[in-house]
Amino acid sequence: MTHEVVSRIEELSGQLAATAPETERLGKLSDESVKLLRQTGIMRMLQPTEYGGLAAHPRDYAEAVMAVSRNCGSTGWVTGVVGAHPWEMALMDRRLQEEVWGENPEAWIASPYAVMGVAKQTDGGYTLNGRWAFSSGTDHCDWIFLGALLADTEGNPVMPPTVLHVVLPRKDYTIVDDSWDVIGLQGTGSKDIIVDGAFIPAYRTIEMEAVAEGELAAERAGRTDTVYKLPFWSMFPLGITAAVIGIAEGALAAHLDYQRNRVTATGTMIKDDPIVLSAISEAAADIAASRSQLLDGISRLYDLADAGKPISFEDRAVVRRNQIRCAWRAVAAVDQIFARSGGNAARRQNLMQRFWRDAHVGLQHAIHTPGSIYHSTALTTMGLEPEGPLRMMI
């Protein structure tokens, strides 16, 4: 059954698609894009119900992100990143949740989580300094999650290293406006963030390890909805990969529209060219497989949590491996159809080139790096125990 948010997105699909050129030109979401997203309710899908959210099944959330991304890759990407943050906010101190959503349930929260700053211990909390890259959708957000390395009162890193997720209001950080000049996902406005000595009260922080496992964080936060019992590295990558798959679906739709009546330079109708038609079918099957595998993975983890069963490291590793493979498979399929679209596909007025650029830049995100994840998953499925860095981001 189609979720109500997905249905609203599909009803607004034409309007969302129409915003894409301006969003790309601005280098951030246009005001119309933001307005339409608020109408759909997608940013509140993973938000707690007491703050106007839906506490939705993550499968429905991923399908909603795909639906947006099919029309505008940049807008879909922002929903995949910013839309995931209410999930972690639900696991934070209730005082912070009240600050963020108490007066404005529509408040958006940016990130990044990469450890690009240092949080030095001080009375009542921490002093934060650093510069972070890739804060998608940040111009439209009122708060931000940032990853930071915990340091003692002298500024020396605590050993063993401890990563904090810290939350700041908009007044406590600076957005670097000229820091997003890229070839794809231009409209995401994924700009740099600078923090210079901001004070972070302790209740606005959480240790990364506390949310990595899932169930423990939900218990501490008093959350009983199943969605909040899932592991961080299963939930956060979900929306990002969903955006890439949605972009691939948009590329396929644009390709079909373009090829339907196209005649090649040799006078051949594409509809009569068996080689191109075969490539279209293979690409369509690969994109569909990526979609199904991504949704199946998060659904299996949800079902385990819902049944009160533990989610093992192997469960998490396999889902992460498959999630990465979904993204690479979908983008490879886009390459196959783009290569058979002729020279006119590279023209700015052809939708294919924007989807192609967006898909490749989406694949560059750190959560799509296969190396250590594939290595770790192979060891795990052999019954061996990965150690140290091989357990990162799983």
**How far apart, in whole angstroms, are the C-alpha atoms of residue 134 and residue 366?**
11
Note whether 21 and 142 are same-domain residues.
no
Note whether 92 and 124 are same-domain residues.
no
Residue 213 counted as domain residue? no
Q: Quote the distance between the C-alpha of residue 205 and its chain's center.
A: 21
Note whether 187 and 241 are same-domain residues.
no
Note whether 102 and 134 are same-domain residues.
no
Mean pLDDT lowest for which of 31-40, 88-97, 119-128, 149-158?
149-158
Mean pLDDT lowest for which of 46-55, 75-84, 119-128, 255-264?
255-264
- Give pLDDT, residue 351: 94
Query: pTM for this one?
Result: 0.96
Residue 90 counted as domain residue? yes
**Which domain does 23 fall in, by range?**
4-106
Beta bridge partners of 148: 117, 164
The total domain count for the chain is: 3
pLDDT at 273 over 80: yes
At residue 251 the predicted structure's pLDDT band, cuts being 50, 70 and 90, is: very high
pLDDT at 265 over 80: no
**How far apart, in whole angstroms, are the C-alpha atoms of residue 70 and residue 250?**
4
At residue 264 the predicted structure's pLDDT band, cuts being 50, 70 and 90, is: confident
- Give pLDDT, residue 60: 98
Contact 125, 245 (CB under 8 A): no
Point out the domain boundary residue: 50, 79, 106: 106
Residue 330 counted as domain residue? yes
Mean pLDDT value of segment 176-201: 98
- Give pLDDT, residue 29: 98
pLDDT at 291 over 80: yes
204: closest CA among 292, 291, 145?
145
Query: Which three-class secondary structure state does DSSP give residue 128?
Result: strand
Question: What tokens appear for 365 in the block?
Answer: 């995100």
Note whether 123 and 95 are same-domain residues.
no
Residue 223 counted as domain residue? no
Q: Kindly report the CATH number assigned to the domain that includes residue 28.
A: 1.10.540.10
Mean pLDDT value of segment 309-324: 97
Reported for 209-217, long-range contacts at CB under 8 A and 24+ positions apart, including other chains, are 209/162, 209/163, 210/91, 211/88, 211/91, 211/165, 214/305, 214/311, 215/305, 215/310, 215/311, 217/91
- Give pLDDT, residue 136: 98
Note whether 360 and 293 are same-domain residues.
yes
Q: Where are the alpha helices (DSSP H) in 180-273?
A: 208-212, 215-221, 232-259
Q: Kindly report the CATH number assigned to the domain that includes residue 250.
A: 1.20.140.10
Point out the domain boundary residue: 87, 106, 125: 106
Mean pLDDT value of segment 14-35: 98
pLDDT at 289 over 80: yes
- Give pLDDT, residue 272: 82
Note whether 191 and 63 are same-domain residues.
no
- Give pLDDT, residue 303: 98
Note whether 240 and 258 are same-domain residues.
yes
**How far apart, in whole angstroms, are the C-alpha atoms of residue 373 and residue 225?**
29
Mean pLDDT lowest for which of 153-162, 178-187, 248-257?
153-162
Mean pLDDT value of segment 218-232: 95
Mean pLDDT value of segment 143-164: 94
Fill in the amino acid letter for 228: Y
**How far apart, in whole angstroms, are the C-alpha atoms of residue 45 and residue 57?**
8
**How far apart, in whole angstroms, are the C-alpha atoms of residue 209 and residue 121?**
18
- Give pLDDT, residue 266: 82
Question: What tokens appear for 388 in the block?
Answer: 């140290």
At residue 268 the predicted structure's pLDDT band, cuts being 50, 70 and 90, is: confident
Containing 260, the helix (H) or strand (E) segment is none
At residue 216 the predicted structure's pLDDT band, cuts being 50, 70 and 90, is: confident
Containing 31, the helix (H) or strand (E) segment is helix 31-40
Query: Residue 192 gets which letter from DSSP?
Result: E
Please state, for a pLDDT cut of 70, what percent of the chain lies above it. Answer: 100
- Give pLDDT, residue 263: 86
Q: What is the mean pLDDT of the chain?
A: 96
Query: Which three-class secondary structure state does DSSP give residue 167?
Result: strand
At residue 196 the predicted structure's pLDDT band, cuts being 50, 70 and 90, is: very high
